[in-house]
Chain A
Amino acid sequence: MIRPLIWKEWHEQRWKLAFGTVMLASCTWSALAARMATDSEVIIAAWIFGALVLSWYSAMGVFAPEIAAKTITFLSSKPVGSWKVFFCKWFFGWLNFAVPTLVCCLGLAVSVLARPQGRYFNIEFIARGTCVAICVGTVFYTMTCCLAPRKSGEALTGFVGLMILLAMFIHTFLLEFAFFQVNALVKFGFFGKIAFFVNPLSGINFIEPSREFSSACLYFAEQIVLLLLCLWLGIRKWQRSS
């Protein structure tokens, strides 16, 4: 029963996917070719765009249009589990930012392999950064589409996304400040780390290979818990929106 759902989502989302991929890839490659900034700055900009802008845009167009167009009743009345409908929609929305980010980074990796001396980044840097960008994007995208109020339109979902992003930036600023100035993480030990890594944006610390493995595990574990929590809330909201 999931095939018709996949078919529908593919037909609805494929142009967004194509647009995001072409746009991100062409912007990154143009910036690299024109040497507008350093190579590292260009790839970091591509990650930020993929993880925060495309995921935000994607989150706005997943559940809200179905609710606004009132097609949700038609879809929900079909003999298929509402969680299947939810995951199908969530997954195709996720593809809309994950695929462009991956395609862009794969292209960069190929370019490094082809001309390793001419670039100021290596494969490991690209792989770590892409992993973190997709992780940050996945959690931010899921939070935006799942935490937006029930029956909210695209604009309200977008506003919720901006508020989540703002909260993430404030959290990063406060804890980075605390970490560097007061050394709060040392003071509060494990709980300090939990408070620090709950923010998806703290993943940027793992792009450079200096962090210890246990911190990375803690970060990814916290992000998985956050993701599952948001998905649970999202399914509940979706079921009530029918």
Chain B
Amino acid sequence: MGKNAIEIEELEYSYGRNQVLKGVNLRVPAGSIFGFLGRNGAGKTTTIKLLLGLFRPDAGTCRVKELDSQINPIIVRRTVGYMAEDQQMYGWMRIEQIIKWVASFYPNWDEDFTSRLLEMLELPSKSKVKTLSKGQNSRLALLLALGHRPEVVILDDPTLGLDPIARKDFLRHVIDLLQSNGVTVFFSSHLLYEIEPVADHVAILDKGVIIKSAKTEQLRESIRKFIFTPKQQADFSSVPGILDLLTSGDNVSVTLEDCDEQKRAAIRRLSANGIQETALNLDEIFEVYVIGNRAKGKRE
């Protein structure tokens, strides 16, 4: 994979007294589709705005293609294709006008590619932006983000407000356009099921810090849920890496990270009889990391 397309180090940012980012560290490998997960208000959009050099961080650095966002914000924005969440554009412009207008900011704008995109995304070039549906608006925003053939594409909750069909349609276009030609995609969302099929790496941002960053497949492999009936006086503190512990009647459900044979053996020692082991999907993984009950110790 080689170099990283995006590097964030010890990034801190506050809105007044409210510290939103508390030392974010992130590395996005070049050519990857990177899912940036977090709840609403976790700091995803702030991180992206810092990446684009729109805000000045309190501490830390952001680099896109080895360019510091604070030192070279204009070059960074020229390198990146950015689609904001619920992107609002100028309603009085016609589609052909807004394309021409955005193109004039980019010396390397590809007109042939844009024409093909216009056809592929089924956008009526003579229509005014204010007359477009939400789905068409998102597709136009995608076209405007890709027209200069950027090496890095940042999509900030791009399907926000779209109905399920429009969302799937949009994601299909994203995959068709980006997966094939080695573009790095930094995809921020709180809708995990839309990231799961496309992302090869994910990072989870919660309360201003990255709580997990790994390859999607590796994450799915290493996190396991065990359901069993524990022995009397079972001491769960002997099992390291508990992400979630739930009791339901006589049974407990324990979710472990970095699950290996040693941890499985520790769980077996706590069980009164058989153990049921299951893998988790990204939605469940996100849930255990963000709202998981990590209470350890003796079960009462």
Binding site for B on A (CB under 8 A): 1, 3-4, 7-8, 11-12, 69-71, 73-74, 76-81, 239-240, 242
B19-27, B83-91, B188-196: which one contacts chain A? Answer: B83-91
* Chain B, range 211-229, C-beta contacts under 8 Å to A: none
B74 pairs with A242, CB closer than 8 A: no
Shortest Cβ distance from residue B73 to the other chain A in the assembled complex, whole angstroms: 8
Contact of A4 with B101 in the complex, beta carbons under 8 Å: yes
Given contacts A69-B88, A70-B88, A71-B89, contact A77 B101 (CB under 8 A): no
Q: In the bound complex, do residue A74 and residue B84 qualify as a contact, i.e. CB atoms below 8 Å apart?
A: yes
Decide if A74 touches B105 in the complex (CB within 8 Å): no
A70 interface neighbour in B54, B78, B86, B106, Cβ under 8 Å: B86
Question: Which chain A positions have C-beta within 8 A of B88?
Answer: 69-71, 73-74
Given contacts A73-B88, A79-B74, whether A3 and B104 have CB atoms under 8 Å apart is: yes
Cβ A80 vs Cβ B74 within 8 A: yes
Asked if B82 is at the interface of the complex by the 8 Å CB criterion, the answer is: yes
Are B105 and A78 touching (Cβ within 8 A)?
A: yes
Q: How far is the CA of A77 from the CA of B53 in the complex (A)?
A: 9
Q: What are the residues of chain B within 8 A of A70 when measuring CB–CB? A: 86, 88
Give the distance in Å from the alpha carbon of A7 to the alpha carbon of B101 in the complex: 9
Contacts of B102 in A (CB 8 A): 78
**Are B84 and A73 neighbours in the complex by a CB distance under 8 Å?**
yes
The smallest C-beta distance from B34 to any residue of chain A, in angstroms, reads 19
Other-chain contact of A79, B55, B77, B86, B89 (Cβ < 8 Å)? B77
Bound complex: CA A69 to CA B87 (Å): 10
Q: Which among A3, A8, A74, A76 has the greatest number of chain B C-beta atoms within 10 A?
A: A74
A12-B92, A70-B86, A71-B90 are contacts. A77–B104 as well, Cβ < 8 Å?
no
Q: Which of B75, B89, B90, B92 has the most CB of A within 10 A?
A: B90
Bound Cα distance from A80 to B101, whole angstroms: 13
Q: Which residues of B contact A (CB under 8 A)?
A: 49, 52, 54-55, 74-75, 77-78, 82, 84, 86-90, 92, 101-102, 104-106
A242 and B49 form a contact (CB under 8 A): yes
- Nearest neighbor of B77 in chain A, beta-carbon distance: A79
- Are A78 and B77 also in contact (CB < 8 A) when A8-B101, A71-B90, A242-B49 are? yes
The 8 residue pairs across chains A and B that have the minimum distance between CB atoms? A79-B77, A79-B78, A4-B104, A70-B88, A242-B54, A78-B105, A73-B84, A79-B74
- Residues of B with C-beta under 8 A to A7: 101
Question: Cα distance A73–B154 when bound, in Å?
Answer: 14
A-B contact count (CB 8 A): 48
The residue among A71, A73, A239 with the most chain B CB atoms within 10 A of its own CB is A73
In the assembled complex, the CB of B139 is this many whole angstroms from the nearest CB of chain A, namely 15
Contacts of B90 in A (CB 8 A): 8, 71, 74
Q: How far is the CB of B52 from chain A (nearest CB, A)?
A: 6
Complex formed: what's the CA distance from A8 to B49 in Å?
23
Instruction: Give the docked Cα–Cα distance between A74 and B84 (Å).
Output: 7
Q: Would A1 and B105 count as touching, CB distance under 8 A? A: yes
Please name all residues of chain B whose beta carbon is closer than 8 Å to the beta carbon of A74 when the two chains form the complex: 84, 87-90
CA distance A78 to B90 in the complex (A): 14
Contact of B87 among A8, A12, A73 (CB under 8 A): A73
Pairwise interchain contact A77-B92, C-beta atoms closer than 8 A: no
Q: How far is the CB of A215 from chain B (nearest CB, A)?
A: 42
With a CB–CB cut-off of 8 A, which chain A residues contact B105?
Answer: 1, 4, 78-80
Least Cβ distance of B237 to chain A in Å?
Answer: 47
Which residue in chain B gives the minimum CB-CB distance to A76? B54
Q: How far is the CB of B72 from chain A (nearest CB, A)?
A: 10
Instruction: Kindly state the separation between the CA atoms of A211 and B3 in the bound complex, as whole angstroms.
Output: 69
Interchain CB contact (< 8 A) of B74 among A69, A71, A73, A81: A81
Q: Is A77 a contact of B74 with CB atoms below 8 Å? A: no
Other contacts beyond A77-B77, A80-B105: 15, CB < 8 A: A4-B104, A7-B101, A8-B101, A12-B92, A70-B88, A71-B88, A73-B84, A74-B87, A74-B88, A74-B89, A77-B54, A78-B77, A78-B105, A79-B78, A242-B55
Report yes or no: B89 in contact with A77, Cβ–Cβ below 8 A: no
- Give CA–CA (A226, B59) in the complex, Å: 32
Please, which residues of chain B bring their CB within 8 A of the CB of A242?
49, 54-55
Task: Specify which chain A residues have a CB less than 8 angstroms from the CB of B55 in the assembled complex.
Answer: 240, 242
Q: How far is the CA of A70 from the CA of B89 in the complex (A)?
A: 8
Contact B106 A79 (CB under 8 A): yes
* Distance to closest chain A CB from B206 (angstroms): 24
Does B75 lie within 8 Å of A79, measured CB to CB? yes
A74 to B145, CA, bound (A): 10
- Closest chain A residue to B148 by CB distance? A79
User: A76 CA to B74 CA in the complex, in Å?
Assistant: 10
Q: What is the bound-complex CA distance between A12 and B90, given in angstroms?
A: 10
A79 to B103 alpha-carbon distance, docked (Å) = 11
Residue of B nearest to A7 (CB): B101
In the complex, the chain B residue whose C-beta lies closest to that of A73 is B84
Chain A residues with CB under 8 A of B104:
1, 3-4
